[in-house]
Structure 1
């Protein structure tokens, strides 16, 4: 790996600046004179201090300095040795899942809640430990962005970042543990709980609340990667939105940037031009909502000809109450309120509008779902 990417701590510090400073994370040094003060975000949890500091010394990317380079008072550093103990040295039996190639594996572990040291299995609190694979700058940068946003944002429907660990060889994030895993698994993987209609609506409402919260902040946050695998579920199927590695402040609205994320869920204007708005998240949520209704993936080559692209296939049915049953998940066996399903279908269709200006706000989407 290039020495420019070895200094994880200072990469995180760079990410805490505005987007124009993000580019400077690749440089050998930069001035801290124009650092951004995020303490002006009154919409964040008032109990969360937002102050942090940077070292004024020249940044040497090859130097791994102490944790004093930056401070997150509400997200704690966890010693790497304690993480090894909590996962039994990353034993395969503790493996909970595998993410994208850059992000590596997620392990289940136990730590003591107050001092964040390793605990015996079944004691302390259960956590999910995401270990980054060594490899490209983008994976490091996305994890740094996760710390940036999740160290500030607090909401019942956002995943909680418990702590992190970083050194020359390891980059690790520790989250609250979500016992039911991802919505993606429950909809599409074998061996997972079947979701009845009421649970599906509950999950959709939780996700909508999370996105509406982000969009309604004084400085809105655009998630940029809304998809079913980033919607996590606790033991009672309460929703927690995760995957903040691509998030951007809403000040980027209507600005063309590098297109990233998951193609199936990406808004057409974002894919074609890089134009990023809050409407991009609304479109992604519409795609997830369609998956929730239908039990099908947005793109699935195993479906019959003409049905590989779920959005194209489903649109003619979403605004037709008589034909809507054609796309509702057959595993529900008709056990759902037709009127409610039609309301969900109509708001889903609006979210998936090709014209970004015709999509509803997430607060409006949330209002429809909560009225069911």
Structure 2
């Protein structure tokens, strides 16, 4: 109960995100039951966590000898610890647990000890789904005024990441933008995020095709323009109401315009 109270206090902003016990995350997800699973991707599975007075999301990262790399997990946690913005999904805590279990060989009396590793992240629960579920044709899709506000919110969140905490998201796409009940967009999934001072990487295999800038896809070159390219694709999809593989040439011609507008973009005065 004490651990649950700590997580609720973090949820309500009374404490800062912190290390969470594996037992707590198992308890609130019914030991990661299928009934609590609400999503699955290349990096892991997502579960709904039920507390007494609130709902959270627990992302269970897939861990194996081929996929686990604590450098990436540590980097994601460090970046998430810095983030606090209306248009970014709120981070509540993490769990990095390693323990040993005894497993018996089938048909044998012998046991072998294996190392079990759990890497988990906890976030606020956004119950209106991700942006990709809402991009449809103009007749069945969102009103233009709503789309405009979504674009504006994404811009605010991305400007905050770039200009205030110097982070490149590196995987901006509609499925990584959640919408709350008021259709306020919130950027999520910082598994590939990097500090802006890093300018090159050797692999791009995790980047989603269609949203990846050519200079990164072809050469591994990183900059804030990688996010701006992804933003350009998202804006085109929101304006047209259609998902699809965009013409890279058309997107590239707009990146500079988006970048120029982005650097001067400010919140309007409240009424």
Q: TM-score, normalised to structure 2's length?
A: 0.76
Query: 2:85 matched to 1:155?
Result: yes
Change (3 A) 1:297 1:357: closer
Which structure is higher in strand share?
2
Q: Counterpart of 2:61?
A: 132
For residues 40-55 of structure 1, the aligned pairs below 5 Å read none
Q: 1:167 aligns to what SS in structure 2?
A: strand
Aligned-residue Cα RMSD (Å) equals 2.8
Q: Counterpart of 2:47?
A: 107
Which structure is higher in helix share?
1
Q: Counterpart of 1:214?
A: 161
Maintained 8 Å contact 1:282/1:361: no
Q: TM-score, normalised to structure 1's length?
A: 0.56
Query: 2:252 matched to 1:353?
Result: yes
Aligned length: 232
Maintained 8 Å contact 2:232/2:254: no
Deviations 1:201-260 (A, max 9, x none): 11111111011111212x6221111111111111211111112111111223xx332243
Deviations 1:162-207 (A, max 9, x none): 111221232111100011121012226xxxx942222211111111
Q: 2:92 aligns to what SS in structure 1?
A: strand
Q: Counterpart of 1:311?
A: 247
Unaligned runs of 5+ in 2: 1-12, 99-116
Q: 2:77 aligns to what SS in structure 1?
A: helix
Distance (whole Å) between structure 2 residues aligned to residue 95 and residue 273 of structure 1: 37
Deviations 1:322-369 (A, max 9, x none): xxxxxxxxxxxxxxxxxxxxxxxxxxxxxx2259666524635746x9
Q: 1:272 aligns to what SS in structure 2?
A: helix
Distance (whole Å) between structure 1 residues aligned to residue 32 and residue 87 of structure 2: 28
Q: Counterpart of 2:103?
A: none
Distance (whole Å) between structure 2 residues aligned to residue 84 and residue 195 of structure 1: 37
Distance (whole Å) between structure 1 residues aligned to residue 97 and residue 237 of structure 2: 39
Distance (whole Å) between structure 2 residues aligned to residue 138 and residue 208 of structure 1: 32
Deviations 1:86-135 (A, max 9, x none): 112222221111122xx221111123xxxxxxx3xxxx221011111222
Maintained 8 Å contact 2:141/2:241: no
Higher relative contact order structure (alpha carbons within 8 Å, sequence separation ≥ 6): 2
Q: 2:82 aligns to what SS in structure 1?
A: coil
Distance (whole Å) between structure 2 residues aligned to residue 247 and residue 211 of structure 1: 12
Q: Counterpart of 2:179?
A: 233
Query: 2:240 matched to 1:294?
Result: yes
Query: 2:152 matched to 1:205?
Result: yes
Bigger radius of gyration, 1 or 2? Answer: 1
Q: 2:85 aligns to what SS in structure 1?
A: coil
Unaligned runs of 5+ in 1: 1-47, 49-72, 112-118, 300-309, 316-351
Distance (whole Å) between structure 2 residues aligned to residue 358 and residue 205 of structure 1: 15
Q: 2:30 aligns to what SS in structure 1?
A: coil
202, 207, 225: which one aligns with 1:258: 202
Maintained 8 Å contact 1:221/1:249: yes
Q: Counterpart of 1:174?
A: 122
Maintained 8 Å contact 1:183/1:229: yes
